[in-house]
Amino acid sequence: MTDTVFELRRYTLKPGAREALIDVFDTHLVETQEAVGMNVVCQFRDPAAPDQFVWFRGFADQEARTRSLPAFYDGSVWAEHGPAANETMLEWHDVLMLKPATPGSGLDTSSLERLPPGTADLDDGRNYIVAIHHLAPEAADVEATVAAKAIADAVGSTGGAVIASLISDRSENDFKQLPVREGECVAVTLARPAVAQAIPALEAALRAVPIGSSRVPDIARLVPTARSLLR
């Protein structure tokens, strides 16, 4: 599936509630979102932040997003399972709407296969890094694309692989029920370190990328849940 619009969603949860949310999400809220036109790409634990849940989803385009969000959130599945998911959350508004920095740099799921419900998590050392670099809010897309290329080069310099390179999609959010962060320009990079031992070097390289902003990038190490399509 080739998507052109993505959401990076970062939830702050009530203490100790993450496993309850993952159970509801992975059991009831994956295929049911995809049935109405969304693509649940990956969902993660952040080992350093036990009350965080991080996930990406994709849409074919803005029109598909406008159709699929109300179809899901005004539908019977969310009516049944949404209250249990919401009960785990303190903050669910930290959402970035994104698009590929260049053609083909989005999250490509065409060759990935999701594991079935009930699959146990494996502690197999699979780590990803997500980095959010902040440009000036008024920066043009071309500036964000240049920054994304510099960030990708930094990842490559450590032997890591860029899984996705995304920049802000500043289209109007047509589903106000779910706010997104507005008035920002970011470059978001999802990367896979060459080996676990390379993570510190990768994080240092990401922090050192000069993008013309004094704001420190947000960097997190992420571990996929059992049913994340990206594993």
Instruction: With both helix axes pointing from N to C terminus, report the angle between 62-73 and 76-86 in degrees, rounded to the nearest 10.
Output: 80
pLDDT digits (tens, 9 = 90+) for 71-93: 999 999 999 999 999 999 999 99
- pLDDT of 2 strictly over 90: no
The CATH number of the domain covering residues in 5-109+124-224: 3.30.70.100
pLDDT, position 214: 80
Torsion of CA 13, 77, 25, 9, to 10 degrees: -60
Render 94-115 in DSSP notation, one character per residue. EEEEEEESSTT-S---TT--PP
pLDDT, position 223: 96
- Token pair for 134: 């902040």
pLDDT digits (tens, 9 = 90+) for 92-132: 999 999 999 999 999 998 889 999 988 888 666 679 999 99
Of 164, 159, 147, residue with least CA distance to 202: 159
Mean pLDDT of the 130-148 span: 97
pLDDT, position 45: 96
pLDDT digits (tens, 9 = 90+) for 164-222: 999 999 999 999 999 999 999 999 999 999 999 999 999 999 999 998 778 899 999 99
pLDDT, position 119: 85
Q: pTM of the predicted model, to two decimals? A: 0.96
